[in-house]
Amino acid sequence: MEKLYIHPLPVRLWHWTNAFGFMLLIATGLQIRYLDLIQLLPFRTAVVIHNWIGFVLIANFFVWLGFYLFTDKIKVYHPELSPKKYFQASFRQMQFYGYGIFRGEPNPHHPSAYHKFNALQSMLYQIIMMLLVPIMFVTGLLLWDVTRFSTMVEMLGGVRVVDTVHVLLFIVFCGFIIVHVYLASLGHTASAHFKAMITGFEEIEDEPKQETGH
């Protein structure tokens, strides 16, 4: 079993801050949206916590963005430029998640410090981090002070449109967290990937040696 240092400390700090922050946003957001069903905190307290956690995560996003833009670690997000190779790698990964893992087949993706995402993850994380997360933050900021940002809110179709987009993204991120946790449990042990995001070291299984005939 080989150990590779794949997750630098800034990435790990960003990841866990993001994870706990989004869980708090989900909990307080549910109470704000469904006040008649969920009353864990006073409404005003839930709103204040929701807003402050939102600002923390916006700052955290720029920490993440700065780290990747100004270090060579940005390479982990570089896409495969050959469409043929990308779709082949994606198809192999889908086969693995679909049935290969249940047959004990090895993961076709072999992570490294500059290639830690498989083809599916690479594309998904780019969409989430560079598109959906910024939209989530912008809509949340507009809803935080509708009066101050009234001009932009009206340009986007009004409060109802902004709120609908914010809620739809909330649903998307809830689903993403569930899938993310499930996929993170698919290492050589159920806790391997979680442990790696704490220590920084991924345990890489040795590839099975193929027997050669004589």
Number of structural domains the chain divides into: 1
Residue 176 forms part of a structural domain = yes
Compute the half-sphere exposure of residue 5: CA atoms within 13 Å on the CB side of its CA.
Answer: 4
- The enclosing domain of 83 has a CATH number of 1.20.950.20
Q: Which residues span the domain enclosing 159?
A: 2-204
Residue 197 forms part of a structural domain = yes
Residue 212 forms part of a structural domain = no
Residue pLDDT, tens place only, 9-45: 999 999 999 999 999 999 999 988 887 787 788 889 9
Residue 73 forms part of a structural domain = yes
The predicted model scores a pTM of: 0.86
Q: How far apart are CA 47 and CA 39, in angstroms?
A: 12
Mean pLDDT of 140-144: 95
Q: How far is CA 105 from CA 95, 208, 209, in A?
A: 10, 11, 14
Q: How large a percentage of the chain has pLDDT more than 90?
A: 61
